[in-house]
Structure 1
Amino acid sequence: MLRPYLSLASGVMLLVSANVYAQGEADFSKAIELTAGHEELDIKNNRLLLTDNVTVKQGTLEIKADRVEALRNADQQADTFIAEGNPATYTQQLDDGSTISAQADRITYYQAREVLELVGNAQVSQGSSRSSAQIITYDLAQQTVSASGEGSENNRVTTIFTPPKKKKDDKNGSNN
């Protein structure tokens, strides 16, 4: 029973379900590498706590935070990763080559549900668009984003679409 925990603490390599494949498909079949200045393993409570400049990498997926907590489920698999920072950040290269990035006070990755939940000053950016809200839920498999202003002063969600820069030829209003 102690063996899975020791390999977690010493190797700090966790596998995430390979059925998460809607974005960054290759990333989700790779091991997760966690690095930090300090690590504490609580065997009794199935909990690994990393602090001091934490980085979580899995292929092109990268989360940076001040603190990351990894929790194991009843099957002894790392199932939930909670990253906290000022802010915690997430980036990943998508299959089409574009990059998605996010930041929040807390980013929780629910591995079994294939969901990222961003809470507190949350923002998601892709291309020229950016959404901000108090809570943003990003379903990795379905590639859907749900945002809520819940808990914020004005309970609003903001999305910004930046138009492309005009080419020099378009300066005079030509529509060729």
Structure 2
Amino acid sequence: MQNPIVIKPIVTQFDSIPALHEGLKLYPQSFIDTTPSKENGILGTTRTGIKKTAPIVIQPSLVESFRASFQSLLESRGNYSADISVATYAIDIKIIECTIVEKSSGLSQTMTATMKVEVTIAPPLDNSQTRTFTVAGQNATTSMDTSKYAERIMRDTFANICSEIVKVINKI
């Protein structure tokens, strides 16, 4: 195996993500990674030559990269609460699945990033109104060499997951 392809897919642009309701404040309480990548950061592998592959490694960790992306979204929209006592909701996110798979077909490759999270949201002092939902997202690209697109594909998948979380929260 070759040297790893290191990706840093933290989302910083939120133009395509819908806004949360005005005045809604979220306190990101916990982010948990239950994927196999939590041990070594490897999300998948990519072909780097004839019969040569390299691991795709996320840095910082998957959970820290997604936390930074989601918190940055909330901060940019004025929906972040650093204090649970003034938050509308406390939110817990469990990353259930996160992989990058590359498939070759003839002269081209298709790289697909897949992510699935379980979100639990509740008023900070009232667990009787807890809601839990699952969100899944995927992004792919096809090219002669997809290795250089791994970071963008994962970042776009993070943005897709953030967007879906916002859509569900807006319906609550």
Higher RCO (C-alpha 8 Å, min separation 6): 2
**More helix per residue:** 2
**More strand per residue:** 1
Task: Normalising by structure 2, report the TM-score.
Answer: 0.32
Larger Rg: 1
Task: Normalising by structure 1, report the TM-score.
Answer: 0.31
